[in-house]
């Protein structure tokens, strides 16, 4: 039986760009759907099994940020933003709504393909185990590596694949200061290293979920200008 093709939804109000991305993905055996705005994208998303969304931010009728917000109400499908908006605040807004990666226009095909491979790799989580234990426990925090479960005391904590990998990496290196670059390359992939805004957003999201008081973190501590350390 032939393997199922990865289905990608490309959303951009520029037809030339939609066609460019579609052609380059189809020759690599992706099945591509296209939409010119967020409303069209949501209609495609509801009627097809979409594995990856690539979308612009500035579009008529419904912009990319609102599209991300609505998709995230029902799905954790990987989302890559392709946008001419390259300011850090634009990236942070997209990440806070649930984007997984952000590529600034103009971009190269090679870079896009690498980012696609990276987000799909992170999304396709498989059960894992530590060399010594299937669980990591710190204080009230318990991570079950085999079942991909996290809890604090009796309360279950729902994490996305990226949040889970970030937490595991920090906990496996408890007490060690991990640099921004080291964390990015371990969690996101070797092709990353300068995207410090990714970490700010995801560490903030993790703190909201695992810290008893996110304003006074006791698990994930910041080493200003360097990185993060778990447990001090």
Locate the domains of the chain by residue range: 7-123, 135-230
Long-range contacts, stretch 81-89, CB < 8 angstroms, 24+ apart: 81/55, 81/56, 81/57, 82/12, 82/17, 82/21, 82/54, 82/55, 82/56, 82/107, 82/112, 83/56, 83/57, 83/58, 84/58, 85/57, 85/58, 88/197
Tokens 């909201």 -> residue: 208
**What CATH topology corresponds to 135-230?**
Arc Repressor Mutant, subunit A (1.10.10)
Query: CA gyration radius for the chain?
Result: 18
Question: Which listed CATH number (3.40.50.2300, 3.40.50.720, 3.40.50.300, 1.10.540.10) goes with 7-123?
Answer: 3.40.50.2300
Phi, psi at residue 65, to the nearest 5°?
Answer: -65, -45
* Percentage with pLDDT > 70 across the chain: 94
Higher pLDDT, 222 or 160: 222
pTM beyond cutoff 0.75: yes
Least confident of 77-86, 90-99, 128-137, 216-225: 128-137
What is the rounded average pLDDT of the residues 155-181? 92
Reduced 3-state DSSP string for 78-93: CEEEEECCCCHHHHHH
pLDDT digits (tens, 9 = 90+) for 44-101: 999 999 999 999 999 999 999 999 999 999 998 999 999 998 888 889 999 999 999 9
DSSP per-residue string spanning 165-215: HHHHHHHHTTTSEEEHHHHHHHHT-TT-SS-HHHHHHHHHHHHHHH-SSTT
- Cα(69)–Cα(156) distance, integer angstroms: 24
């Amino acid at each position: 039986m032939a393997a199922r093709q990865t289905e990608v939804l490309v959303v951009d109000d520029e037809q030339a760009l939609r066609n460019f991305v579609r052609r380059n993905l189809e020759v690599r055996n992706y099945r591509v759907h296209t939409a010119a705005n967020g409303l069209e994208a949501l209609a495609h998303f509801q009627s097809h099994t979409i594995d990856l969304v690539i979308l612009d931010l500035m579009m008529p009728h419904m912009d990319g940020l609102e599209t991300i917000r609505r998709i995230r109400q029902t799905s954790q499908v990987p989302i890559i933003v392709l946008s001419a908006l390259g300011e850090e605040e634009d990236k942070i807004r997209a990440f806070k709504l649930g984007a997984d990666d952000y590529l600034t226009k103009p971009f190269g095909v090679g870079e896009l393909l690498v980012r696609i491979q990276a987000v799909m790799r992170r999304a396709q989580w498989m059960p894992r185990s530590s060399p010594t234990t299937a669980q990591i426990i710190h204080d009230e925090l318990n991570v079950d590596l085999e079942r991909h479960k996290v809890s604090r005391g009796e309360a279950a904590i729902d994490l996305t694949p990226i949040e889970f990998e970030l937490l595991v990496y920090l906990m496996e290196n408890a007490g060690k200061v991990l640099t921004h670059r080291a964390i990015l390359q371990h969690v996101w992939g070797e092709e990353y290293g300068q995207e410090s805004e990714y970490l700010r957003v995801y560490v903030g999201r993790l703190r909201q979920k695992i810290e008893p008081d996110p304003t006074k973190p006791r698990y994930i501590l910041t080493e200003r200008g360097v990185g993060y350390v778990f447990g001090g």
